[in-house]
Amino acid sequence: MSTDSESEHGTQPLYPFTQEELVAAMSEGYDELMQFVLTPEFKELHKELYQLSKEERPGFVRGVIMNEDELEKRDIVVPEELLIQRSSFGDRRPTLFCVKKYLPEKFHNAWENVNITFDNSHDREVPRDDRAWRRPLKIDVQSSAMENGVSLEELSAVSEDGFDPGIPYGSVREKPELDR
Amino acid sequence: MQEAADELIEALASEEFRKRLQKVKDAPQEEKLEEASRQLNPESLREVGVPFPEGARVSSRFFEESSGEMLELGNVPGETNVLNELNKSRPGFLDEIRHENPGVYRKIVRPDVHPQFDEGPMIDETVGWWFCGGGWGFCAGGGS
């Protein structure tokens, strides 16, 4: 493996760490995440979530998984170095929540965090082309769409006409011309 | 699981992948998404030797905090705003806590009771490794 001191960005080294150090930090992060999500209590919560219909799951995430009191009732204590968060992707993958760990700050110019992300069920192929780089939906818009059985791709079709639900309401953006 | 994580890390930590990330970061703010679609698509990454796993994806992403983390920055009449005071007396302290100890940070900002502070769009390059039928996967994220 190469050292990053060999890679120059202007006159400064591109990264203040070696590739081996980054690999070690990411591995340690994933180990911690796996230890947490593989506890019997979390696995039971996971089972409880996925036994619900896909329309009911976003509400369960809001009301239980994002709620420390509800987690405590299930004997789940989130380690202080981990975060449970919701998120949304530009490729419109219907995601429910993730468990995230920040890497030490010196790695942030490359990777800021590692996380394990839990998706809702979906039938459609998630695009890997330019459509993966659309602005993600607002979290509450995504959540509401899943609860009402609205395809997230249908929401993106609205944005193709100039209204992007991923940015504040009322804003309009031009569709970028992408090189192919 | 370990094997999948290791395979993903090998791709994400590769020097070529990180060079591509840097090009996205260096792009003007309004061109970042467009630049990301050029630099970070799986075919293009594989062409330059990144061992990008089959089935992995790269996509923009908002975490809840970046699309509206709830921080109280205004003043409540008659009360001291702890966050404003902390920012005045220890600039950068909240950011340090956020990265070093997210659990404590979460308790400080108390997102359940504060009005929304919209930070604006943030690009977050994320790669996910997905298990068919499992509904979950490993990801990594970086902001720009």
DSSP of A166-179, one letter per residue?
A: TS-TT-B-PPPPPP
Instruction: Choose among B37, B41, B59: nearest Cβ to A89.
Output: B59
Q: Is the pLDDT of residue B8 over 50?
A: yes
Q: Do A79 and B103 touch (CB under 8 A)?
A: yes
Listed range (A27-31, B109-113, B114-118, B130-134) with the worst mean pLDDT: B114-118
pLDDT band at B127 (very low <50, low <70, confident <90, very high): low
Inter-chain CB proximity B14 and A135 less than 8 Å: no
Nearest Cα neighbor of B55 from B111, B103, B11 is B11
- What is the structure's pLDDT at A29? 95
- Residue A129 — φ and ψ, nearest 5°? -90, -155
Q: Which two tokens stand for residue B5?
A: 């994580």
Q: Which of A54, A52, A134, A44 is nearest to A88 (CA)?
A: A134
Higher pLDDT, B95 or B60: B60
Residue of A nearest to B16 (CA): A7
Which residues in chain B have Cβ-Cβ distances shorter than 8 Å to A117? 128, 136-139
Beta strands in B28-74 (DSSP E): 57-59, 61-63
- Going by C-alpha positions, the residue among A158, A13, A55, A32 that lies closest to residue A103 is A32
**Site from B64, B106, B144 to mutate, A interface, most A CB atoms within 10 angstroms:** B64
Tell whether A52 lies on the interface with B, counting CB pairs under 8 A.
no
**Greatest CA separation for chain A:** 55
Higher pLDDT, A24 or A88: A24
Whether the per-residue pLDDT at A5 is higher than 50: the answer is no
**Range B23-41 average pLDDT:** 81
Q: Distance of CA A22 to CAs A4, A114, B15, B93, B107, Å?
A: 10, 12, 11, 25, 29
The 10 Å Cβ neighbour count of residue B82 is: 12
Average pLDDT in the B80-85 region?
A: 61
**Distance (Å) from the C-alpha of residue A126 to the closest C-alpha of chain B?**
9
* Per-residue pLDDT at A62: 95
**Average model confidence (pLDDT) across chain A:** 80
pLDDT score of A12:
60
Contact in structure between A94 and A146 (CB atoms under 8 Å): yes
Q: Is the pLDDT of residue B136 over 90?
A: no
Please give the interface size between A and B, counted as residue pairs whose CB atoms are below 8 Å apart. 172
Q: Which of B14, B63, B99 sits opposite A85 (nearest CB)?
A: B63
The count of C-alpha atoms lying within 13 angstroms of the C-alpha of B57, restricted to the half-sphere facing its C-beta, is: 26
How close B52 comes to chain A (CA, Å)? 13
Residues of chain A positioned with their CB less than 8 A from the CB of B121: 135, 166-167
Strand A87-89 with B61-63, pairing:
antiparallel
A1/chain B closest Cα distance in angstroms? 9
Is residue A148 pLDDT above 50, yes or no? yes
Each residue of A134-168: b (16+ CB within 10 Å) or e?
Answer: bbbbbbebbbebbbeeeebbebbeebeeeebbbbe
Complex ipTM value? 0.74
The yes-or-no verdict on residue A133 having pLDDT over 90 is no
- What's the rounded mean pLDDT across residues A28-33? 94
pLDDT of A22 above 80: yes
CA-based nearest residue in chain A for residue B3: A27
Chain B contact set for A99 (CB, 8 A): none
Return the beta strands (E) in chain A as ranges. 8-9, 12-13, 82-85, 87-89, 95-102, 113-119
- Which residue bears the tokens 């998404």? B33
- What mean pLDDT, rounded, does chain B reach? 68
Question: Which of the residues A18, A28, A112 would you substitute to probe the B interface, choosing the one with the greatest number of B C-beta atoms within 10 Å?
Answer: A112
Give the integer Cα–Cα distance in Å for B136 and B114: 31
State whether residue A79 sits within 8 Å of chain B by CB.
yes
Terminal-residue alpha carbon distance, chain A? 32
CA distance B21 to A160: 26
- The 10 Å CB-count burial string (b at 16+, else e) for A112-133 is bbbbbbbbbebeeebbbebbbb
